[in-house]
Structure 1
Amino acid sequence: MRTMTAGPTTIRTMRDRLWATVTNRDEHSAAGIVFSALDDGMDAEAVLLDLIAPVQARVGTEWAANRLTVAQEHAASAIAERLIAALAHRPAVRARPRLGRITVACVEREWHVLPARLLAEVLTLRGWHVDFLGAQVPTPHLIAHLHSSTVDAVALSSSIPTRLPAAHAAISACKAVGVPVLAGGAAFGADGRYAYLLGASAWAPDARGAAGQLADGIPGPSLTDGRQQFDDLPHLGDQEYTLVARAQGQLVKQVLAELEKGFPAMAAYSDRQRERTAEDIAHVVEFLTVALYVDDDELFTTFLTWTAGILTARRVPARSLGPALEILGTELKDFPRATRILGQAQLALAGALTTPGRNPGAPA
């Protein structure tokens, strides 16, 4: 198989063409661009990681900026998944398994499957035998699979930080049965801090990095790695996470009720507006809860400033987040870590909203 890689100018041109086809929902033309790149000598891994993946990342960026609708984002993502599947089944790009066996899976409640799928295909191209379990794999099912298969490692993917408690359970369970875990995906932080905090054997920022680490070998778990999760995260002993997690629904109701008292205009909201407001508050409470789980202020402040950017792009006043944080602070005044996290978020939000010319949530 040829392994020529296209130059930067050619790659940019192909990305622009692929972007135009997927946003126009022209799957046939998108497939033509991908297959032509292969026929012209671009290696399959480069097609996956330098062509398809950046276009999909742009889809997410454009959705966040409100330049693509949810339906357009879903359609583009579906085309990307089918392009990967079509590429994977072309005989010319298949590699004969000659290395070990890797299980690739998304953590429970994680539906963003594309990063895991890209890794699975890259590993297959490099000669690994890959068991790709797909999106939203409950931990008991993952462990049952490991008991029935001999694998060298589990590659665990998660894109949303609120899945970190589930990721922790999966990592702990895999290591308890003697299987090392390579974590990857945006949920684990740009520097992998949450992967290491939760006990992962290794972390990689992207598919190439993950493939390289697996090729070098990941050390297996030690005999002490079957310890309880509280030993990994001793701060959980204060019960703040547990109590706030149990009260999430009630906290959302309380914040909504207090907002209605303070903002009479909410009485005129349509059912759809009320539903969206409740969803936004639920996300705030959920991210606060996971920030308590990992005891990291930055996780919550990053989410808040990102949310402010999303709201601003949709012409919703981002300042509406401030009162919600104040109400949560009152409700959780007896929780020191929650109070600290909310205080830091209020400062970060105020700074983002007062920076001239800056869209809150945009990269600094």
Structure 2
Amino acid sequence: MTPERRIGPEALAAYLDHLDAADRAGAVALARGVLADGFSVADVLVDLVAVAQREVGQRWLTGSWSVAQEHAATHVSEQVVDALGATIGPPRRGHVVMACVEGEWHALAARIVTEVVRAAGWGASARDAVALLERPLSAAHTGAPPPPPGDAYVAVLHRRRELVRLALAAVDPPPESAEDVAAGIAHMVDALIAAVRVDDDRLLRDFVGWQEEALTSRGGRALLDGVLGTLERALTEHPRVVARLRAAREGAPDDPGRAD
């Protein structure tokens, strides 16, 4: 049996060099070269572009790259995805619709999935999407309506901007990291809002676990504790929300029996 070919570390290192230099032409040429070597579009997107993007995220996470460097590198990868997507032929198997949730700006992962799926013969176009939307949904696809939002969810959602501002003022990061810290705090508040809405504390705990590395690399563990503590104090009228925040800070499961 012939062993499965894999894109080697040399190609990954060279691709990351192109991302570091925001070198669109070099990155596209490298990806096309790997394609010409007999690798599939899926191979290049999953084993090269996606792997490189994880490294890009890690470099931002640890503070070795600025948010501007991360954005520039991601833009180059988006252009590589465009270039590889242009090599894919027409669909032959059916239709698949890909989407990001409302407010999600990080669409590169969904675009990679889209092109891999298209490369496998499933096609999508703007007209295909319209045709699908015009078809009536069967009873099996409508599902049950979501439960109505509770008072705590509405309150935290409406205070989102205020909560971000309060937490940022409380931790007072240095100017060079203020933008990154503000973004991290905003994402944390969004994770809290989502956890309250669907009544699943894992959303917040998992996010805080990730942010522990992201925020502490920019200000120490005290910064993360300061953010969570500020949110707790600002939301004392909602004991259940405070309990969620405290459980996330302590890494302990919350008590699901109490109501918001």
Asked if these proteins are the same fold (TM beyond 0.5), I'd say yes
Normalising by structure 2, we get a TM-score of 0.79
- Is residue 80 from structure 1 mapped to residue 84 from structure 2 by the alignment? no
Per-residue CA deviations over 1:183-228 (Å, capped at 9, x if unaligned) read xxxxxxxxxxxxxxxxxxxxxxxxxxxxxxxxxxxxx652762x43
Task: From the superposition, tell whether residues 127 and 284 of structure 1 become closer, same or farther in structure 2 (CA, over 3 Å).
Answer: closer
Asked whether the equivalents of residues 216 and 222 of structure 2 are also in contact (C-alpha less than 8 Å), the reply is no
- Is residue 39 from structure 1 mapped to residue 36 from structure 2 by the alignment? yes
Asked whether the equivalents of residues 216 and 223 of structure 2 are also in contact (C-alpha less than 8 Å), the reply is no
Asked whether the equivalents of residues 95 and 126 of structure 1 are also in contact (C-alpha less than 8 Å), the reply is no
In the other structure, the counterpart of 2:258 is none
- Is residue 125 from structure 1 mapped to residue 103 from structure 2 by the alignment? no
Asked whether the equivalents of residues 240 and 335 of structure 1 are also in contact (C-alpha less than 8 Å), the reply is yes
Asked whether the equivalents of residues 90 and 121 of structure 2 are also in contact (C-alpha less than 8 Å), the reply is yes
* Residues 89-108 of structure 1: pairs in structure 2 closer than 5 A: 89-90=86-87, 94-108=88-102
In the other structure, the counterpart of 1:222 is 140
Asked whether the equivalents of residues 59 and 73 of structure 1 are also in contact (C-alpha less than 8 Å), the reply is yes
Task: From the superposition, tell whether residues 177 and 12 of structure 1 become closer, same or farther in structure 2 (CA, over 3 Å).
Answer: farther
1:50 to 47, 50, 53: 47
TM superposition shift of 1:273: 7.7
Per-residue CA deviations over 1:273-316 (Å, capped at 9, x if unaligned) read 877776655444333222211222222223223323223323x1
* Residues 134-173 of structure 1: pairs in structure 2 closer than 5 A: 148-150=130-132
2:158 to 243, 246, 250: 246
d(CA) in 1 for partners of 2:70, 2:5:
28
In the other structure, the counterpart of 2:191 is 287
Q: What is the one-letter code of the residue matched to 1:320?
A: L
Asked whether the equivalents of residues 104 and 131 of structure 1 are also in contact (C-alpha less than 8 Å), the reply is no
d(CA) in 1 for partners of 2:182, 2:113:
36
Task: From the superposition, tell whether residues 5 and 107 of structure 1 become closer, same or farther in structure 2 (CA, over 3 Å).
Answer: farther
Gaps of 5+ in 1: 134-144, 152-173, 179-219, 350-364
Normalising by structure 1, we get a TM-score of 0.59
Task: From the superposition, tell whether residues 68 and 221 of structure 1 become closer, same or farther in structure 2 (CA, over 3 Å).
Answer: farther
The count of residues paired between Structure 1 and Structure 2 equals 251
- Secondary structure of 1:228's counterpart equals coil
- Is residue 319 from structure 1 mapped to residue 222 from structure 2 by the alignment? yes
Q: What is the one-letter code of the residue matched to 1:7?
A: R
Per-residue CA deviations over 1:258-284 (Å, capped at 9, x if unaligned) read x4xxx9xx6xx8888877776655444
TM superposition shift of 1:71: 1.7
TM superposition shift of 1:253: 5.4
d(CA) in 1 for partners of 2:64, 2:41:
30
In the other structure, the counterpart of 1:110 is 104
- Is residue 328 from structure 1 mapped to residue 231 from structure 2 by the alignment? yes
Higher normalized strand content (fraction of residues): 1
Task: From the superposition, tell whether residues 112 and 251 of structure 1 become closer, same or farther in structure 2 (CA, over 3 Å).
Answer: closer
Asked whether the equivalents of residues 98 and 110 of structure 2 are also in contact (C-alpha less than 8 Å), the reply is yes
Asked whether the equivalents of residues 97 and 127 of structure 1 are also in contact (C-alpha less than 8 Å), the reply is yes
In the other structure, the counterpart of 2:11 is 14
Identity percentage of aligned residues: 30
Q: What is the one-letter code of the residue matched to 1:99?
A: R
TM superposition shift of 1:341: 0.3
Asked whether the equivalents of residues 18 and 27 of structure 2 are also in contact (C-alpha less than 8 Å), the reply is yes
In the other structure, the counterpart of 1:209 is none
